[in-house]
Amino acid sequence: MLSSPVRHYVGGVFDASGDPIPLVDPVNGRSAGEVPSASEELVDRAVGAARDALRGPWATWSPADRAQVLHRIADGIERRFDAFVAAECADTGKPHELAADVDIPRAAANFRNFADLLAGRGEQSWHTPTPDGRGALNYTVRKPLGVVAVVSPWNLPLLLLTWKVAPALATGNTVVAKPSEMTPSTACLLAEVIAEAGLPAGVFNLVHGGGGGAAGQWLTEHPGVDAVAFTGASATGTTIMRAAAARLAPISFELGGKNAGVVFADADLEKAVAGTVRSAFTHSGQVCLCTERLYVERPIFEAFAGRLVEESRKLRGYGPMISAAHRDKVIGHLTRAATDGEVLAGGGVPRFGDERDGGFFVEPTVLTGLAEDHPAVREEIFGPVVHLAPFDTEEEVLGRANAGPYGLAATVWTGDLARAHRVAPALDVGIAWVNTWNLRDLRTPFGGVKASGIGREGGDHSLDFFSEPMNVCVKL
Q: Which residues form the catalytic set? A: 254, 288
Pick from 463, 52, 451, 9: nearest CA to 232: 451
Query: Taking CB under 6 A as the criterion, which residues in 212-271 touch ligand NAD?
Result: 212, 216-217, 220, 231-233, 236, 239-240, 254-257
For residue 371, the tally of other CB atoms under 10 A from its CB is 11
For residues 346 and 366, the answer to whether their CB atoms sit within 8 Å is yes
Closest approach of ligand NAD to the CB of residue 424, in Å: 19
Pick from 236, 234, 228, 235: nearest CA to 252: 228
Q: Which bin fits 220, alpha (ψ -120 to 50), beta or left (φ > 0)?
A: alpha
For residues 54 and 174, the answer to whether their CB atoms sit within 8 Å is yes
Closest CB to ligand NAD among residues 89, 240: 240
Closest approach of ligand NAD to the CB of residue 30, in Å: 21
Closest approach of ligand NAD to the CB of residue 163, in Å: 8
Closest CB to ligand NAD among residues 76, 211: 211
Closest CB to ligand NAD among residues 43, 73: 43
Among 36, 93, 167, 211, binds ligand NAD (CB under 6 A): 211
CA 195 to chain centre: 24
Among 210, 348, 390, 415, binds ligand NAD (CB under 6 A): 210
Closest CB to ligand NAD among residues 113, 152: 152
Closest CB to ligand NAD among residues 181, 363: 181
Closest approach of ligand NAD to the CB of residue 283, in Å: 10
Closest CB to ligand NAD among residues 180, 414: 180
Tally of helices (H runs) and strands (E runs) in the chain: 16, 22
Closest approach of ligand NAD to the CB of residue 183, in Å: 8
Closest CB to ligand NAD among residues 131, 212: 212
Binding mask 435-474 for ligand NAD (x = CB under 6 A): -------------x----x---------------------
Contact call for residue 406 and ligand NAD (CB under 6 A): no
For residue 448, the tally of other CB atoms under 10 A from its CB is 27
- Using Cβ positions, the residue closest to ligand NAD within the complex turns out to be 211
Among 151, 201, 308, 366, binds ligand NAD (CB under 6 A): 151
Contact call for residue 430 and ligand NAD (CB under 6 A): no
365-368 and 342-345 strand pairing: antiparallel
Number of residues that bind ligand NAD (CB under 6 A): 31
Q: Which residues contact 368 (CB under 8 A, 6 or more apart)?
A: 305, 341, 342, 344, 387, 388, 389
Q: Which residues contact 414 (CB under 8 A, 6 or more apart)?
A: 262, 263, 264, 266, 267, 420, 423, 434, 435
Segment lying near ligand NAD (by CB under 6 A), choices 151-159, 293-301, 302-310, 437-445: 151-159
Closest CB to ligand NAD among residues 58, 360: 360
CA distance 183 to 180: 5
Among 93, 153, 319, 384, binds ligand NAD (CB under 6 A): 153
Among 110, 155, 162, 365, binds ligand NAD (CB under 6 A): 155
Segment lying near ligand NAD (by CB under 6 A), choices 33-41, 90-98, 175-183, 431-439: 175-183
Closest approach of ligand NAD to the CB of residue 80, in Å: 23
CA distance 292 to 285: 8
Residues in the chain: 476
CA distance 188 to 471: 39
Closest approach of ligand NAD to the CB of residue 289, in Å: 7
CA distance 455 to 227: 13
105 to 49, 75, 113: CA distances (angstroms)? 30, 11, 12
Closest CB to ligand NAD among residues 180, 467: 180
Binding mask 364-403 for ligand NAD (x = CB under 6 A): ----------------x-x---------------------
CA distance 193 to 388: 45
CA 175 to chain centre: 18
State residue 288 phi and psi, 5-degree precision.
Answer: -55, -25
State residue 163 phi and psi, 5-degree precision.
Answer: -60, -20
Closest approach of ligand NAD to the CB of residue 178, in Å: 6
Q: Which residues bind ligand NAD (CB under 6 A)?
A: 151-155, 160, 178, 180-181, 210-212, 216-217, 220, 231-233, 236, 239-240, 254-257, 288, 380, 382, 408, 448, 453
